[in-house]
Amino acid sequence: MFLVGIDLGTSSTKCLILGPDGQVVGRGAVPVDCELRPGGFAELPAEVWWTTARGAVQQALAVAPKGITRAGICISSQGLSFVLLDADDRPLRAAISTLDTRAERQAAALTERVSEPDLFRLTGKRAAPYYLLPKLLWLRENEPHVLMKARGLAFAMDYLVGRLLGQRAPTDHSLASGSALHDVRRLEWSRRLAECFDIDLSIMPDLSPAGTAAGAVTDAAADEFGLPRGTLLAIGGQDQKCAAFAAGLSPEVATISLGTAAACEFISTEPLLDPQRSLPCFPYVRPDHWVLEGAIPAAGGALRWLAQAVSPSEPPDTVCQSLEREAVGADWDATPLFVPHVGGAGSPDWRRSAKGSLSDLTLATGRGEMARAVLEGVCFELAANVEAAQGLGLRPGAIRAFGGGARSAFWLQLLADCVELPVLKLSLEDAAALGACLLAASCAGQCASGFGQPPAPQVFAPTAHGVSRSQMRRARYLSLAL
């Protein structure tokens, strides 16, 4: 059986196809356009999820072996994006993106009815504008006529799965947990919160564990996508959880995705709720497992910011590559300290009003030194997340890193010295789509061990000199970041 994994991202939709031997035989990617407007608005037509998925699958099939007769498909999805549906499962308005933060006021008002500690104990989430609940409250205040007509609600994955199946689809717990309406312990929609905020739970999708069978793709959808008729569809999950699944997240190994943003995943066999509310808790894509997830809003994004600041007329990707090379040979004595809160502070502090800063500049500070400071600042924030997880009793002995930032050996060595743990470089492309493939394999009863996996990872071990330097510089950094 061939395995098809689709990753519905915020900037692109990707597809990965694995052959029966687990080797990658096809890839595709189609950009996603999202309308951004003042006030935190971020919207897109739900149809985009369908058309970009179709295009990515067709691209991947174009280079895959011909004559595929049996396939399983699964979807990894951006969290939080959703669309309201009418009685015929047609969108009532544009979908609201993960990136949307318009519900700042509604998020703050949540705590007038349910204290933030109580909300966190129930859902594993803080009161924040990117979750579903405050966005529903925004819709009630600003578009009540639309909300009143809603007979269904679908996250991005559910919408695509529903179109593929020809019927309303369930969602999995890792996606549902991003709603701030999902009881993270009981694994069900919270009636207490629904009653408190007068939310009609009948519009919410049914819940189903990731990796369970959803049914067969309709003949019409299979023909449109170019898939074999009878393709089996498995329920997928939220993209970071699928990526961590592909990277081999375990009690002994944490994972870090180094992309535009950075995400750290730590696994637990129980819903571990941080009393400090530093790390949100989500159900995982494996049964009876949960993850604590740290988030750094600007990781590679911080380096891109620097690239645009120092060379605004050149392509940012080209400048980023140059800056990474220059950072390797930079002078530590002239390296400033950089706080990467250019997109606000993520975990463990969650100060959305926080700002980035670049300090301790001298006349000897050049582009390479500034780039080195940016990479180091992200590592300091990742170290804070590792320490938060360790404070809750989680003790990973190593970190597996993947994503665009993991191409930089220098950055990974900095990370190892900052977190004082070995960092294993995974050359995983399209990790979230690969995780979806693995869930499809599990659903079909296939052993997915070794599927799509790269050669043995390169290991970056902390060095005594590097750890000592990191500890000294981090003490100064913390005085700036707090």
Write out the chain's pLDDT in tens, 482 residues: 999 999 999 989 999 999 999 899 999 999 999 999 999 999 999 999 999 999 999 999 999 999 899 999 999 999 899 999 999 999 999 999 998 999 999 999 999 999 999 999 999 999 999 899 999 999 999 999 999 999 999 999 999 999 999 999 999 999 999 999 999 999 999 999 999 999 999 999 999 999 999 999 999 999 999 999 999 999 999 999 999 999 999 999 999 999 889 999 999 999 999 999 999 999 999 999 999 999 999 999 999 999 999 999 999 999 999 999 999 999 999 999 999 998 888 899 988 788 999 999 999 999 999 999 999 999 999 999 999 999 999 999 999 999 999 999 999 999 999 999 999 999 888 999 999 999 999 888 776 655 655 567 899 999 999 999 999 999 999 988 76
Classify residue 92: in a domain, yes or no: yes
Residue 87 CB partners (closer than 8 Å, separation 6+): 151, 152
pLDDT at 455: 61
Residue 448 lies in a domain: no
Q: Based on the structure, what is the number of domains in the chain?
A: 1
Query: What are the angstrom distances between the C-alpha of 179 and each of 46, 276, 298, 453?
Result: 18, 20, 23, 32
d(CA 102, CA 106): 9
Helix H or strand E segment including 79: none
- Is 308 within a domain? no
Host domain of residue 72: 2-240
pLDDT at res. 448: 60
Q: Around Cβ 11, how many Cβ atoms within 10 Å? A: 13
- For residue 197, the domain's CATH number is 3.30.420.40
N- to C-terminal Cα separation, the chain? 52
Is residue 47 in some structural domain? Answer: yes
Interval 9-50: pLDDT, tens = 998 999 999 999 989 999 999 999 999 999 999 999 999 999
pLDDT for the residue 457: 82
> Is 55 within the bounds of a domain?
yes
Does residue 453 sit within a domain?
A: no
